[in-house]
Chain A
Amino acid sequence: MRQLIVFILKEFKHIFRDHRTLLILFGMPVAQVFLFGYAVTNEVRDAELTVWDRSGDYLSGELISSMVGSGYFKYEGQVTSDRELADGFKSNRYKLGLVIPPNFARDVFQGNAKVQLLLDASDPNTANILNSYASAIIGKFISSHTKLHLPLNIQTEVRMTYNPELKGVFLFVPGVITVILMLVSALLTSIALAREKEMGTMEILLVSPLQPATVVIGKVIPYLGLSFVNALVVLLLGFFVFGMPLHGNLVLLLSEFILFIICALSIGIFISTKAASQQVAMMMSLFALMMPTILLSGFIFPIDSMPRVLQWLSYIIPAKYFIQVVKGIMLQGTGLSELWKPTLAIAGISLFFIIASIKNFKTRLA
């Protein structure tokens, strides 16, 4: 037991004396949260809007003010020709152009009003979002001024449950927690173990009375602790800075954190049993872990819209299950009775890698 404590203390010294590790450990999580929370977002605010009002009646004026008043657009003034409109798009002054044809008010009352939307689709995502915002506002405006209703005109009213304001950050906070736990736990432990091999100190440890299990546990415990602290920091940031709700049970959430950290650590140990040097360990961690974690977990790209093969592949990505769990607990307030399946999947993956690592470790020594 004393041996283990001596070993863990040594590991903390390694961590706190290495500025690079410290930076990865504490700088990156916070930077990522702010990056994803503020910069990388699906929401559009203050998109530059211009109008070519060829009608100029009282109704077209009202339409413009309801667009501007929505808060999604920033009114950049009127244009008076095709050319002016085109130039404005080219010089990036406008993201959205609204062309109101002549006799707008009369057309509205006759029930056949048309307007034209011009969008800068060099950024297709933004263009799509702006299109749906603008169409919704215009549609609502026209229907409120039209006496005529088509017989089969079905009005849908949409309610977005669990995230009524469609805040992107609600998706990103669970995603960032996942990526950070994966990165810090797996990458740093695999590097730390590979470093012992590279420096030749592993030999000395193996010849010493320390059990191999003690070496591994001694390596893992500091990272388990630090990763947990990290996850808490991100969680608190999400909570206080971005107003992320927590509808479910906090104890359950934190337990799932620990389970996922153990999963990531077991993968890190497995990698280090394969990698002979720090660099190999780093490359393996980045390619085998980072990319799938970000791309195949549903963090950024929805899994349902991926090709079949990638969908199957996503079943072995622990991050996919963990994001489900975190979203479930935080946003939907679900409990273990609904989340036992992904929880079991994470536990299963951990078990697989722990057994594989032990086998690898033994064959290397036997």
Chain B
Amino acid sequence: MDDHTVIDAKGLTKRFNSFTAVDEITFKVKKGEIFGFLGANGAGKTTAIKMLTGLLRPTSGSARVAGYDVFREPDHIKRNIGYMSQRFSLYNDLTVVENIRLYAGIYGLKRQKINQKAGDLLHTLGIHSYRDSLVKDLPLGFKQKLAFSIAIFHEPRMVFLDEPTGGVDPIARRQFWEMIYEAAERGITPFVTTHYMDEAEYCDRVSIMVEGKIMALDTPGKLKEKFKADSMDQVFLKLARAS
């Protein structure tokens, strides 16, 4: 694996007793590309992400994430990735700046660096006036931006975004995708799962999981061509029906 590959999975499999949640998935993610990880509920996305983030030990196969082996070096993986869940998962009873300090502290950043970066961040997000407000008082769109910024605060090599745009309005979604592009340009590779098929079009490459297997993996344009579809939505439906 070279410096330009952030995920290299080969035959990655997870079985729970007789049930195979993830069935020999093989794929690569290049540094800086926006990778869409699609699939219906129960297709095995969450299990796959848990294996890639070092939370769950795979049954067989191999994978390297951010340069480290998922079997032998899960602790190194954790230090080099960011993670944001669909629930934004900030502490509602802490202030904006306290949330930043907490997560940055957990990733071992130095206090001085935290303070300086936190100031910059609040300015860029335009929420400096909310600095000392409790997170529960923030509008949802701000929460989402803040959660993402915190997930990449420690400059990880890649960031896992698990349905990051759930429940926010189209304008906020649009703005959020701009943040994703920006992060990708800075070399933080985004790995995105989503339910919104229009968002799949924003990705450089997408994979579509059906019943534990990756049934398609290419750029959105080529997938549409291959499946003779006008939109990713149709691609997805055709795949789901075929199985």
Q: Is there a chain A Cβ closer than 8 Å to B185's Cβ?
A: no
Write out, one digit per residue, whether chain B residues 66-80 have a CB within 8 A of any chain A CB (1) or not (0): 000000000100110
**Chain B residues with CB under 8 A of A13:** 93-94, 98
Interface segment among A148-156, A164-172, A195-203, A299-307: the answer is: A195-203
**Chain A residues with CB under 8 A of B81:** 207
User: Interface size of B by Cβ–Cβ distance < 8 Å?
Assistant: 28
Which applies to chain B's interface (DSSP): helix, strand, loop or mixed? loop
User: In the bound complex, how far is the Cα of B56 from the Cα of A2, in angstroms?
Assistant: 26
Choice from B85, B92, B102, B160 contacting A6 with Cβ under 8 Å:
B102
Q: Is there a chain B Cβ closer than 8 Å to A355's Cβ?
A: no
CB-defined A-B contacts under 8 Å, sample of 29:
A2-B105, A3-B108, A6-B105, A7-B102, A7-B105, A7-B106, A10-B94, A10-B102, A14-B91, A17-B93, A18-B93, A199-B89, A199-B92, A200-B87, A200-B88, A200-B89, A201-B90, A201-B91, A203-B83, A204-B103, A205-B106, A207-B53, A207-B54, A207-B83, A208-B83, A209-B75, A209-B106, A366-B56, A366-B57
Contact A203 B85 (CB under 8 A): yes
Given A10-B94, A13-B98, A209-B108, A204 and B57 contact (CB-CB distance below 8 Å): no
Given A365-B55, A366-B57, A208 and B78 contact (CB-CB distance below 8 Å): yes
User: In the bound complex, how far is the Cα of B75 from the Cα of A366, in angstroms?
Assistant: 14
**Chain B residues with CB under 8 A of A24:** none
User: In the bound complex, how far is the Cα of B74 from the Cα of A88, in angstroms?
Assistant: 80
Q: Is there a chain A Cβ closer than 8 Å to B196's Cβ?
A: no
Q: Is there a chain B Cβ closer than 8 Å to A206's Cβ?
A: yes
Q: Is there a chain A Cβ closer than 8 Å to B107's Cβ?
A: yes
Which applies to chain A's interface (DSSP): helix, strand, loop or mixed? helix
User: In the bound complex, how far is the Cα of B90 from the Cα of A10, in angstroms?
Assistant: 12
Specify the chain B residue showing the minimal Cβ separation from A206.
B55
User: In the bound complex, how far is the Cα of B89 from the Cα of A203, in angstroms?
Assistant: 8
Given A199-B89, A201-B91, A203-B89, A208 and B107 contact (CB-CB distance below 8 Å): yes
**Chain B residues with CB under 8 A of A14:** 91, 93-94
In the assembled complex, the CB of A9 is this many whole angstroms from the nearest CB of chain B, namely 8
User: In the bound complex, how far is the Cα of B59 from the Cα of A366, in angstroms?
Assistant: 10
**Chain A residues with CB under 8 A of B57:** 366
**Chain B residues with CB under 8 A of A365:** 55-56
